[in-house]
Structure 1
Amino acid sequence: MIDVDIRGRVGRFDLAARFEGHGVTALFGQSGAGKSTLTNMIAGLVTPSSGRISVDGTILFDADKGIDLPVQARRIGHVFQDARLFPHLSVRANLTYARWAGRRSGTRDFGEVVDLLGLTALLSRKPETLSGGERQRVAIGRALLSGPRLLIMDEPLANLDHARRNDILPYLDRLCVEAAIPILYVSHSIEEVTRLSNTLVLLSQGKTLAFGTVADMLAREDLVRVTGRREASALVSGTVTRIDSDWDLTHVDIGGAVLQIPGMAAEPGAPVRLRILARDVALATVPPQGLSIRNALAATIESIAGETGPYAEILCNLGGQRIRARVTRASVSDLGLQPGRSVTALIKSVAIDRGQDTPAPPV
């Protein structure tokens, strides 16, 4: 667990951050929101003017008690946008460097980290021969082998193209599940943070607007301006119930309702999370017939937002979970949509991209 309640200033930029996070905590905000300033304060590179920082009960900073652990004593592994590997060292030597330089014996087995990040075939190679995604995997491995009590990942995929991002995301999925240490994941990509994190912290202009579970944060209409209206979405959790091999469809129970997802790599019984974009959800007042859409699920409208402009954001309860739909205000009027009304939510199977399904990280 990470517990942060600090204030500080860097130049003319004021920061006031307060949040608690379990497992994987995502810091989300646009450029200039204060993400890097906050992580620098947590890492000990910048000193807050007041407040307290603790990780799993160990106090890293407490202004009132006069505690301010130096950088090395904080034992924080840091992964940056660029891998920052030593070009003259092999992958194996890069992996073990932090442990040697920090004089730490480490609690994590070298072979375990190599296997976790798929690095076995790379150990004898030099950084210049690696792809961007491979270099980032080595940087993550080096940070893990330093024996950290907290891992900060500062926009680790920002410098990768779409193909390289897709290559490394499955490794991050596994890392977030198996790392067994708190992870602070910094990004301005809502797709990444919803895929990987337990807790979502929203930053804007140096202030913490809100924090909580990812599903709860995405359900808040007042925060859509921060996450981005085009990216407005919902996160639902479920369990794989069966695989229809004839049609390559995976059935996911999300609490009584069942979603059919094409081409999803998962085994029956596996817990998964699915991100569903509001723009990919339509609503019907009567159960439709003769449609190609396979996901037509009973739902109840909870709220409708959107007083001006052409669109309305509708929050629906579906099997005890929430999904969001974006429809025109004209449709709201024509269909008589209002809170409490029963509707059928229509979700195209192809709209739930395989890249948006992920094992749920442990709390």
Structure 2
Amino acid sequence: MTDVLDIAVRHRLGDFTLVSSFTSDGRLTALFGSSGSGKTSLVNVIGGLIRPDSGHVRVDGETLVDTERGIFLPKHRRRIGYVFQEARLFPHLTVRQNLLFGHWFVPRPQRRPAELDKVLELLGIGHLLHRRPGALSGGEKQRVAIGRALLAQPRLLLMDEPLAALDEARKAEILPHIERLRDEVGIPIVYVSHALAEVARLATTVAVIENGRVAACGPTADILSRPDLAARPGAPEASSLLTAEVAGFDEAFGLARLTTPAGPLTIARGTLLQGQRIKIRILASDVMLSLDRLSEISALNVLSGSVAEIGERSGLGGSTVHLRVACGEAKLAARLTAKSVALLGLQPGKPVHAVIKSVSVEMP
């Protein structure tokens, strides 16, 4: 299978040097890292806004940049859609006119007349066609910006922190539309973010960017739970990302029973429906380990497994250890004190029980 993205570039920007190399065949590849790590610079190389000093960029098998062969495809010929932090709509045009502006970038014989209707339905913006940008909310503006990019019929969509300027309510409004875009449209997406919750919910592949370099790249669930990455200074806490299906309910106590690759879990019901498929996330600090299967405890979830991996000691004075525990078909991240690891005699292969409170299970 051809990788959707194949990138290996080097570029100096003042005192900062971007040296990044990775491949991805994911539907939504997140470039994740702190501010100033080089995420936007890498996106600008992909989009043709920066000409790298050396290296190559290939999208879906087509070479956009290859410095050894003297190839540098201009940005207007790359067929790449770009969505920025700000919507950047034309204030004097209506929503319909802003959307159709994307069609100008598509050769007339290749324009698909029905495409506008599909985009309107996908993003839920049909009722906004006659408004101007000044009358739209932040979330509505971003959905129109995404629609405009889609109507240019791109081979790749670049989204540079598209939710960074929105409040939590507007983010919640737009996230389901990005999920539909990922799952239904078939256009690969590169999504820049420093928000772990967004990455956990949206990404199929994560590339971790640190100081201009790709520190790791792989499936989202694997990257988020890796002990070596979690132990780095300033890194976000490790977590387990699981797919789950709602198997039933405990009506008397407002709980939902889930089937997951790690085993059965019970969580607060909320608005969940029978048979619904969801993602759940469990922080490493919310997983306790026991050598015996505990009873008469408040936590409703106890999963049997074995220690799969133990990371190096980290934190102040080497007080913390990150682990992964194999439970069923999944590996759960756990964060313990070094003393707890020593007292339990934990080592790879040792049987343990993972204890998880229902209220600790999140839906990103």
When the two structures are superposed, what TM-score results if normalisation uses the length of structure 1? 0.90
Q: Which range moves more in the overlay, 289-298 or 45-54? A: 289-298
- Mark the CA change 1:264 to 1:79 in structure 2 (over 3 Å): closer, same or farther: farther
1:207 aligns with one of 209, 213, 236: 213
Unaligned residue ranges in structure 1 (runs of 5+): 357-363
Shift of 1:200: 0.8
Q: Is 1:20 matched with 2:26? A: no
Give 2:119's aligned amino acid: V
Q: Any residues of structure 2 matched to 1:47-58 within 5 Å, and which?
A: 47-58=51-62
Tell me what 1:333 maps to: 342
Task: Deviation per CA, 1:118-169: give whole Å up to 9, x if none.
Answer: 1122222221121111111111111111110000000111111222212221
Tell me what 1:9 maps to: 12
Tell me what 1:194 maps to: 200
Does the 8 Å contact 1:29/1:226 carry over to 2? no
Give 1:177's aligned amino acid: D
How many residue pairs get matched?
Answer: 355
Shift of 1:298: 0.9
Tell me what 1:345 maps to: 354
Shift of 1:84: 0.5
- Mark the CA change 1:267 to 1:63 in structure 2 (over 3 Å): closer, same or farther: farther
Q: Is 1:81 matched with 2:85? A: yes
Does the 8 Å contact 1:190/1:231 carry over to 2? no
Distance in 2, Cα, partners of 1:181 & 1:344? 42
- Mark the CA change 1:190 to 1:316 in structure 2 (over 3 Å): closer, same or farther: same
Shift of 1:266: 5.6
Distance in 1, Cα, partners of 2:345 & 2:282? 24
Task: Deviation per CA, 1:71-98: give whole Å up to 9, x if none.
Answer: 1110110000011111111111111112
Q: SS in structure 1 opposite 2:89? A: coil
Distance in 2, Cα, partners of 1:323 & 1:269? 24
Q: SS in structure 2 opposite 1:64? A: helix
Q: Which range moves more in the overlay, 44-53 or 253-262? A: 253-262
Q: SS in structure 1 opposite 2:186? A: coil
1:35 aligns with one of 34, 39, 43: 39
Does the 8 Å contact 1:236/1:323 carry over to 2? no
- Mark the CA change 1:227 to 1:351 in structure 2 (over 3 Å): closer, same or farther: farther
Q: SS in structure 2 opposite 1:114? A: helix
* CA-atom RMSD in angstroms: 2.2
Distance in 2, Cα, partners of 1:145 & 1:262? 40
Distance in 1, Cα, partners of 2:160 & 2:123? 18
When the two structures are superposed, what TM-score results if normalisation uses the length of structure 2? 0.90
1:99 aligns with one of 96, 103, 106: 103
Shift of 1:335: 3.2
Shift of 1:170: 1.6
Q: Which range moves more in the overlay, 37-46 or 226-235? A: 226-235
Tell me what 1:304 maps to: 310
- Mark the CA change 1:165 to 1:227 in structure 2 (over 3 Å): closer, same or farther: farther
Does the 8 Å contact 1:29/1:227 carry over to 2? no
Tell me what 1:251 maps to: 257
Shift of 1:241: 3.4
Q: Is 1:324 matched with 2:330? A: no
Shift of 1:250: 3.6
Shift of 1:319: 0.7
Does the 8 Å contact 1:295/1:346 carry over to 2? yes
Does the 8 Å contact 1:26/1:200 carry over to 2? yes
Give 1:95's aligned amino acid: L
